[in-house]
Amino acid sequence: MKFIDEVTLFASSGHGGAGCVSFRREKFIALGGPNGGDGGRGGDVIFEAVSGLSNLLELRHRPHQKAEKGHNGMGKDRHGASGADLVIKVPVGTVIKDAESGDDLADLTENGQRVTLLKGGRGGQGNARFASATNKAPKFAQPGEEGEERKLRLELKLMADVGLLGLPNAGKSSLISKISAARPKIADYPFTTIKPSLGVVPYKNGRSFVMADIPGIIEGAHEGAGLGHRFLKHLERSGILLHLLDISWMPDRDPLAEYAAVTRELNLFSPELGAKEQVVVITKLDLPQTREKLPEIRAWFEGQGIKVFPISSATGEGTSELLDEIARRLWGRAEEQW
């Protein structure tokens, strides 16, 4: 399925129904008086967050969304029915903005959360409402109010406790597929991950957390290099970031320079994202060249006061220690297995 995390909608609430001009006419009853009913209220436009949805694909194919208009009033004091509200279901984590001004209108972060963004127009009053001692037979009624219209921009930001960060082929997809049920594409060429994915990682004693994997970020992403900054927004809600480094390429590539480049791209995208705490993870520990270079890299990071966690997604080595560290940072402590 194609992953769509941004979409533009043209939404409008329902117009109110018109009031009715009518007079009571029954046999043997003279001057029955006005009996025109009121028009119904137009439907609202409501957005609802639903945990079962994973992207905005369906809305991409239906960019025009309109609530039902109110029904007109009728004779014999019959009021028109209200128009049905339009409930637009979106994934949890959807941010709704005004497409013209860019202002944030809603941030739906919980399953079942609802927000009414466009109110339907009021129905017009029928002529029965305007009868008075000086005007016993009003021959006018109100039209219904027009509904509201707005151009909206929807952006999905994945809801994850932990976000994976690193260059292409750093081992992000291998890690999330090892410790969760997520199955992203894994191959030995860059940018095998071209869309974000979520995985629920089981921990101990029934606890779990959600991990997000995004396409690799390279230097110059803020200028559109690689897949650019497009997917970095999916890390903004993460409590902590795992920064994965592949040091098996040394000395052909400098992993410390790569670490600095990716961190720099975070800050260029958002200072708040750049300020998030990171856990440095050295991947591919099963390779001899990684084990050979690990002491040098570990010494450099520890000199900066940063503890590193070497792992192998192929063999599982080091992953339990990494999960304990994530638990300590998320919940304040690691748990013993019962």
For residues 75 and 95, membership in a common domain is answered with: yes
The verdict on residue 336 lying in a domain is no
The verdict on residue 11 lying in a domain is yes
Residue with tokens 């503890």: 307
What is the pLDDT at residue 119? Answer: 97
For residues 144 and 203, membership in a common domain is answered with: no
For residues 251 and 271, membership in a common domain is answered with: yes
Q: At what angle do helices 255-269 and 288-303 cross, to 10 degrees?
A: 60
> Kindly report the CA angle at 49 between 46 and 55, in degrees rounded to 5?
110
The verdict on residue 1 lying in a domain is no
* Domain region containing 124: 6-156
Are the C-beta atoms of 135 and 30 separated by less than 8 Å?
no
Residue type, 62: R
> Kindly report the CA angle at 254 between 250 and 257, in degrees rounded to 5?
160
For residues 133 and 222, membership in a common domain is answered with: no
Looking at 115, 133, 156, the residue that finishes a domain is: 156
For residues 288 and 198, membership in a common domain is answered with: yes
What is the pLDDT at residue 336? Answer: 66
Total domains in the chain come to 2
Which residue(s) pair with 197 in the sheet? Answer: 213
For residues 190 and 59, membership in a common domain is answered with: no
What is the pLDDT at residue 189? Answer: 37
For 292-317, write each residue's pLDDT tens digit: 999 999 999 999 899 999 999 999 99
Share of the chain above pLDDT 90, in %: 55
pLDDT lower than 70: segments of the chain: 1-2, 29-31, 182-195, 216, 218-230, 336-338
